[in-house]
Structure 1
Amino acid sequence: MSSNSNSNSGRRRPALLVLDLINEIVHPDGKYAADGYFAQARDRSVLERTAEAIARARAADIPVIYVVVGFSADYTEWPAGSPVFEKARADGRLKLGTWATQVHDALAPEPGEPVVAKHRISPFHGTNLELLLRTREIDTLLLTGVSTELVVLTTAQAGHDLDFRVQVLEDATLAGDAEIHAAALKVLSRIATVTTVEGALPSTG
């Protein structure tokens, strides 16, 4: 899907990506809750905003694609040298197929909606995400998720270089604290459109 084909098509074909909004990170019982993610999600109503984005996308027949980060039970894919994932193996975090890596109940996928499992920050690394997007003829990525400075930024950068238009739904994204979130949005504004749920998915009701 080239930039030329996007411009010739005359209309946007978006998909909503729900990035790493899993129990381990945004549920109060998750092992990353103490790192500020649960508090930020609660205080900024991020789960509620994301649920609204999902509902609006479904109503408009916009594909919703979920991405969850995690590792096999034996941590075969675990990157030993990563400061991001260094805690995971030590205390059994982010095990795929467990409650920890399930999408939060407030955002649960419907039957048929893809759930892409990844083992690194980028949802494109070692996954079939690009194939899912290309086969649906998607040209625009609407990003929600956690955290703003990691998966959201990385997805925006990769999406940009793969010739997708990228929109970041600011009120449906979060970092571990407000300062990091704001700094990440400043960087994201260089490569993507920073907007809101209402801005990207206006209500038709």
Structure 2
Amino acid sequence: MKSALLVMDVQRSVVDLTDAGPEFLHRVRRAMDGARSAGIPVIHVTIALRPGFPEVGTHNRALSAIAQAGLYVEGAAGTEIHPEVAPLPGEVVVTKRRASAFSGSDLDVVLRARGIDSLVLTGIATGAVVLSTLCQANDLDFGLTVLADACLDPDPEVHRVLTERLFPQWARVLGVDDWAGGLAARRDRS
């Protein structure tokens, strides 16, 4: 299997709104460093909506609330990837228009072009982008791993239930250290 690490919605405004502290950003960074050392592509996924929010329908409660608050407008400073987890030159940045990393983006095209059939998921929020992407990726037959401690939700109970009860039905759920340690052990055996 050929994997990619997805770093999803770790943007300035999302980090600020969820109070994602330096420990969380450090864990995401460790996952990115582990992936890069193992030759696993790191793909950054951001949410950005067009000015005026033409892609937001009135029936979509979550996006309607985002539009009313004026959040995640394409080109605004808050939509930038947080500098602690900034992409390296040449790393792909995908812009999505909905909760799932696949919705309104070219993520599937990028993955298929690279022959990637397995995804490692990180991001904010566990109950939004991570859950939506996991469901869609599962339906698309990707192998899946969720790095539970590199995912964050404003509601700790939502995060716990998803990572302990729901996600294990579809994916391996690991911590960053276990995942990165496994990568290093494979590299050492080679």
User: So what's the TM-score if we normalise by structure 1?
Assistant: 0.84
Partner of 1:189: 168
Q: SS of the counterpart of 1:183?
A: helix
The within-5 A match list for 1:52-91 is 52-91=30-69
Task: Report the alpha carbon displacement of residue 163 of structure 1 after superposing the two structures with TM.
Answer: 1.1
Q: 1:188 is matched by which residue type in structure 2?
A: F
Partner of 1:13: 2
For residues 143-185 of structure 1, what are the alpha-carbon distances to aligned partners after superposition, in whole Å with 9 as ceiling and x for unaligned? 0001111111111111111111100001100101211100111
Equivalents in 2 of 1:118, 1:80: separation in Å? Answer: 18
Task: Report the alpha carbon displacement of residue 201 of structure 1 after superposing the two structures with TM.
Answer: 2.2
Equivalents in 1 of 2:82, 2:160: separation in Å? Answer: 24
Equivalents in 2 of 1:150, 1:87: separation in Å? Answer: 14
1:169 aligned onto 2:133: no
Equivalents in 2 of 1:177, 1:91: separation in Å? Answer: 20
**Is residue 142–residue 200 contact of structure 1 (8 Å, CA) maintained in 2?**
no
Q: 1:19 is matched by which residue type in structure 2?
A: M
**Is residue 167–residue 200 contact of structure 1 (8 Å, CA) maintained in 2?**
no
For residues 14-34 of structure 1, what are the alpha-carbon distances to aligned partners after superposition, in whole Å with 9 as ceiling and x for unaligned? 10000111111113xxxxx2x
Matched length: 183
Task: Report the alpha carbon displacement of residue 200 of structure 1 after superposing the two structures with TM.
Answer: 2.1
For residues 124-144 of structure 1, what are the alpha-carbon distances to aligned partners after superposition, in whole Å with 9 as ceiling and x for unaligned? 122110111111111210000
Q: SS of the counterpart of 2:61?
A: coil
Partner of 2:88: 110
**Is residue 167–residue 192 contact of structure 1 (8 Å, CA) maintained in 2?**
yes
Q: SS of the counterpart of 1:201?
A: helix
**Is residue 68–residue 101 contact of structure 1 (8 Å, CA) maintained in 2?**
yes
Equivalents in 2 of 1:162, 1:77: separation in Å? Answer: 24
Q: SS of the counterpart of 2:129?
A: helix
% of aligned pairs identical? 36
Partner of 2:70: 92
Equivalents in 2 of 1:200, 1:134: separation in Å? Answer: 23
Q: SS of the counterpart of 1:157?
A: helix
Q: SS of the counterpart of 1:133?
A: helix
CA RMSD of aligned residues (A): 1.6
For residues 79-109 of structure 1, what are the alpha-carbon distances to aligned partners after superposition, in whole Å with 9 as ceiling and x for unaligned? 3222212232223211111211111110001
Q: 2:5 is matched by which residue type in structure 1?
A: L
The within-5 A match list for 1:130-145 is 130-145=108-123
User: So what's the TM-score if we normalise by structure 2?
Assistant: 0.90
Equivalents in 2 of 1:95, 1:200: separation in Å? Answer: 34
Which of 49, 63, 76 is the aligned partner of 2:27? 49
Unaligned runs of 5+ in 2: none
Q: 1:196 is matched by which residue type in structure 2?
A: G
Q: 1:172 is matched by which residue type in structure 2?
A: A
